[in-house]
Structure formats: C-alpha cells, structure tokens
C-alpha cells in the first residue's frame, strides 16, 4: 500500500471514529463545550473612562503626518 493510500485510510478511520464517538456520547472530551458567546452576555461591559475626546487630539492632523513622512523619506 502506498503512503498516500495509508494516509487516506488513516484519515477516514479517524474521522469515522470521531463521528461515531460524537454520535454515542454527544461531545468530545478534549474539546469541551463549544458555544458562541459575547462578553455582554456575561454582564461584562467595556469600561467608561472620563477621558475627553475633544481638544488638541480631536482630529488627525494629516498635514503634519505628510510633513513627517516626507522628512523621514529623505533621511
């Protein structure tokens, strides 16, 4: 038997064994319970910090960025 045929037969055997075990017992012991959740489902919400988003850092200064990158290219 060639190595490809051996690999294919081992893969099919493994997939079949996992499917059979899952059918009998419901889940795999090494995976645990898999479910989609979100942190807000657990009552966890992002913190609200008293930071001001107004003022000096209100907008992105594109002209200053272009000036810096042009200067950096010449160095």
Largest CA distance in the chain: 74
Q: Alpha-carbon distance 16 to 19, whole Å?
A: 5
How crowded is residue 28: how many other Cβ atoms within 10 Å of its Cβ?
11
Give the residue with greater pLDDT, 51 vs 11: 11
The pTM for the full model equals: 0.39
Q: Alpha-carbon distance 14 to 16, whole Å?
A: 5
Model confidence pLDDT, tens digit, residues 16-34: 998 888 888 877 777 666 5
Model confidence pLDDT, tens digit, residues 20-69: 888 888 777 776 665 667 776 777 777 777 766 666 656 666 677 777 77
Residues 6 or more apart whose Cβ sits within 8 Å of residue 19:
none
């Amino acid at each position: 038997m060639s190595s490809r045929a051996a690999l294919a037969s081992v893969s099919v055997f493994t997939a079949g064994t996992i499917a059979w075990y899952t059918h009998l017992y419901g889940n795999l012991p090494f995976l645990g319970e898999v479910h989609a959740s979100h942190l807000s489902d657990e009552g966890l919400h992002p913190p609200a910090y008293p930071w001001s988003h107004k003022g000096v850092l209100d907008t992105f200064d594109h002209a200053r960025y272009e000036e810096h990158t042009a200067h950096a290219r010449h160095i």
